[in-house]
A and B are shown apart, each in its own frame.
Chain A
Amino acid sequence: MNKMRFAWNEFNKAPLTAKIGLLIIVVYVFVAIFAPLIAPFGESEIVGRKYLPWSNEFLLGTDNLGRDMFTRIVYGARNTVGIALITTLLAFSLGGIFGIFAAVMGGWTELVLSRVVDILMAIPSLIFSMLLLTIFGTSVISLILIIGVLDSTRVYRLARATSLNIVVMDYIDVARLRGEKIGWIIINEILPNISAPLVAEFGIRFCFVFLTISSLSFLGLGIQPPTADWGGMVRDTADLITFDDYTPLIPAAAIAILTIGVNFVVDWFLQKTSGLKDEL
């Protein structure tokens, strides 16, 4: 109960932007979970003629195949955000584990891992992922694996750099002398001490992954139809823009608003954690 009150107090002290950000995230999660209840039609159900205007029956009109835009926006919350979240989790586990492991082991392990990461980061990630998507084909699984692995390099760098500061502490030496295993040291001594920067990084990486996947889907190389996905929906309805129609901007705005929300929350979190450091 105390924790709840603490969280509530923190929330009240948060700047307006952070509150807006949190509200946005809550709304998106709600829509994603209850998508089938909110959406009036089926995800890829053809409900009328193509490119119907906005009306009471079809709130945002229909797309290039006559599917209801509003329904697909709602399901997009599930698909696009879900896939981005899984990819971020993958990138995080990979990068985090290898980064902390490299810091604890040191020596050759660290050197080899860091050089591999340097090389992978030398190639611009959108270009690299397009090369890999050509090789492995465009499916959701390969999309998640490719982006996850490529993005884990950035998590690796942060995890390694932050844990290097912890590894030199006396209590790590004590734990080693006590004969604790590497895994135990990582979980019980290092992770709790680097959690603050890692949590902020999770938000930043999610935004990056989310934007990358949306861009790839927009280019037709990401999430494949008929799955409702915001990037692909912009591509499907893009022709309408020349007829002075806002429809293609709606899925694009859905992407932008969530990313802005997450960034606002991360910004607040970063200021809070760095502010604490200043006081010490």
Chain B
Amino acid sequence: MSNILRILFQRLALGLFTLFIVSLIIFMGITLLPGDAAEAMLGQSATPDTVAALRVQLGLDLPPHTRYFNWLLGALQGDFGTSVGSGQQISSLIGTRFANTLFLAIFAATIAVPLALILGILAALYRSSVYDRVVNVVTLASISMPEFFISYILILFVSVKAGWLPSLANVQTGVPFLVRLEMTLLPALALTLMSVAHMMRMTRASIINLLANPYIEMATLKGIKKARIITHHALPNAWAPIVNVIVLNLAYLIVGVVVVEVVFVYPGLGQLLVDSVQRRDLPVVQAACLIFAATYILLNLFADIISIVTNPRLLNPK
């Protein structure tokens, strides 16, 4: 067991170190810019005195490393400073939006994950059949489509022509859960169509790799039934790759929502990020990037850890 703990600890330390470096990169972005937040907030007509005063108030007169640690400590406590554009607290801007983004991603994942796993395992089991070939072509095509293409096709056919679902998903706070589900179904479907293809191909590839192992051939030669081979020989080793596929896909979904949120006018973090990039509101961009990057890194770390603790070879040391 100590072996597995050591590997886990190493992986955890590496993940946190990556997070630290990434936060440093995101923070350094602001120091590269000519001018700073104080000048941006006050505009060109401000006198040097008022700019200097605001700089002191915002703590911008401190040396970079002090500012970095203040920023990081604040971010860890949920305080990201104030927006340059609106002067609002960034944490209040981001809170509900991040929850909305998570809601959409999880909604899409609950549809996409089971669908992708079933399709992927079937394609692997019936490899080179007509089904496998058709699925290959269809998924290849859907991976090739830009996200906004899929989204607008859905809007045109499901919402405008058929009138089944609303085309905009601008949910407000306090909307009842069922109404919320209905409003976000179309963006969730768009995300599903995008991610199922990826996930399915990954599932198929990992199952095929697994079935190529000598011990599967051995089991077949011993005359064990196909179902039992799957459940007793293949699956224990398949958990790691499958969980990996799911978690990586969740990470992909949370990050990939940006375009879908903009198309459906969904009030999520991605839309806020796009707006802030256009307004060059750096503190908000930094905060949003940090949250996206941290979610992505932590989910990847989680996938690594799961694949370590479910690995039969590591769990049963010789």
Contacts and interface: CB of A to CB of B under 8 A. Distances in A.
Contacts of A131: 26, 29, 285-286, 289
Contacts of B137: 17
B69 interface: no
A241 interface: yes
B241 to A, nearest CB: 19
B274 A130 contact: yes
A231 B146 CA distance: 9
Contact of B148 (A128, A207, A218): A218
A134 B285 contact: yes
A215 B160 contact: no
Nearest to B15: A122
A241 B167 CA distance: 10
Interface stretch (B213-221, B223-231, B254-262): B254-262
Interface stretch (A40-48, A102-110, A161-169, A258-266): A258-266
A112 interface: no
Interface string B277-304: 1101010011011001100110010000
Contacts of B286: 131
Contact of B289 (A127, A248, A260): A127
A130 B273 contact: yes
User: What size tier do the contact residues of chain B reach?
Assistant: 35 or more
B152 A123 contact: no
Contacts of A262: 144
Contacts of A231: 146, 148
A262 to B, nearest CB: 8
B149 A220 contact: no
A280 interface: no
B209 interface: no
Interface string A238-260: 10011110101100110110011
A122 B140 contact: no
Given A124-B293, A255-B146, A221 B29 contact: no
B153 interface: yes
A263 B144 contact: yes
A119 interface: yes
A220 B274 contact: yes
Nearest to B147: A215
Contacts of B309: none
Interface in B89-147: 136-137, 140-141, 143-147
Contact of A133 (B33, B259, B277): B277
A249 B152 contact: yes
Most central of A122, A207, A215, A253 by chain B CB within 10 Å: A122
Interface stretch (B17-25, B42-50, B59-67, B71-79): B17-25
B155 interface: yes
B156 interface: yes
Contacts of A134: 29, 276-277, 280, 282, 285
Interface in B140-196: 140-141, 143-149, 152-153, 155-156, 160-161, 167
Contacts of B259: 215, 218-219
B1 interface: no
A201 interface: no
Contact of B255 (A126, A238, A243, A267): A126
A127 B155 contact: no
Contacts of B155: 241-242
Contacts of A122: 18, 22, 293, 296-297, 300
A22 B257 CA distance: 32
Contact of A123 (B25, B153, B277): B25
A252 to B, nearest CB: 4
A249 B157 CA distance: 12
Contacts of B22: 119, 122-123
15 contacts: A119-B25, A124-B296, A130-B274, A130-B289, A131-B285, A134-B280, A215-B147, A219-B259, A231-B148, A241-B155, A249-B149, A252-B148, A256-B145, A260-B144, A263-B144
Q: Which 3 A-B pairs rank lowest in CB-CB distance, beginning with the nearest? A: A259-B144, A252-B149, A124-B255
Interface of A: 17, 118-119, 122-124, 126-128, 130-135, 207, 211, 214-215, 218-221, 231, 234, 238, 241-244, 246, 248-249, 252-253, 255-256, 259-260, 262-264, 267
Given A126-B258, A218-B146, 10 more contacts: A122-B296, A122-B297, A131-B289, A132-B29, A135-B30, A218-B262, A242-B167, A244-B160, A260-B144, A263-B140
